[in-house]
Structure 1
Amino acid sequence: MIYITRRETFNAAHQLYNPKWTKEKNREVFGLCSNIHGHNWELYVTVKGKINEETGFVMDLKDLSKIMKNEIVDKVDHTFLNTDVPFLKDKLPSTENFAIEIWKILHPIVPNYCNGTLHKIKLVETANHFVEYFGEN
């Protein structure tokens, strides 16, 4: 088994804010992140599989880049995640929830383009904060 990873970047804002709570409770739990703020996000998608003997690839990384851009980046870049992104509707757009929703979109698509499957989503919010998701529920 071999693993390949592609990185794409985008900019988006979000607000960690639970509307069921008071402003004070949101500030207590989420701190300054309870205000609207933005990030330069990095999305890493890792695919695992066997190498195709004819191409030498598990997956053509140009295809993975196109999928990531068409299915995720083009839909989230320069948006307010809380209100502008349909796949995050009614979800608190924490990095954790965001990564899970990306997985749900890419998991059924990736195998159509390769000799493998989706292995991991890594979503980097800041230089000090990232999430890795392997599809467990």
Structure 2
Amino acid sequence: MCREENRVEMEQTIEELIDQAEVSFIGSVDDEGFPNMKAMLPPRRREGQGVFYFTTNTSSMRVRQYRDYPQACVYFCNPRTFKGVMLRGTMEVLEDQASKDLIWREGDTDYYSLGVTDPDYCVLRFTAENGRFYSHFHSDNFDVSMVR
């Protein structure tokens, strides 16, 4: 298979991994410089393979970590096929009403009792710079601009 076919196949597989993920894993950095990982629901919204939006509690430890150290990663995988993609980039904490409205869903009051204006509800926006794709006992690094 030529290099272009490999790239197209990798892009399609990455899209499938993201779209079919039942769980997302997000990574942050703590005050001691250690990585922290957390399982999350899949992103509420995404723009290509480079920008992802998640919901979380403003009061959470993770929000504090991202404010202090925006370096982050997001991991999507299919445990049945043993394929995965790790994206590295930065995480922003968004508290403006337009961002909150953008990804709010019916039923979110189960998590944020005051509704879409709840001060304990915020949006995490992850912007990827590069990634690493694993499939068939092989890993490939890539720039996200390549797959946008």
**Fold conserved between structures, TM > 0.5:** no
Higher normalized contact order (CA 8 Å, seq sep 6+, divided by chain length): 1
TM-score, normalization by structure 1: 0.31
Structure holding more helix per residue: 1
Structure holding more strand per residue: 2
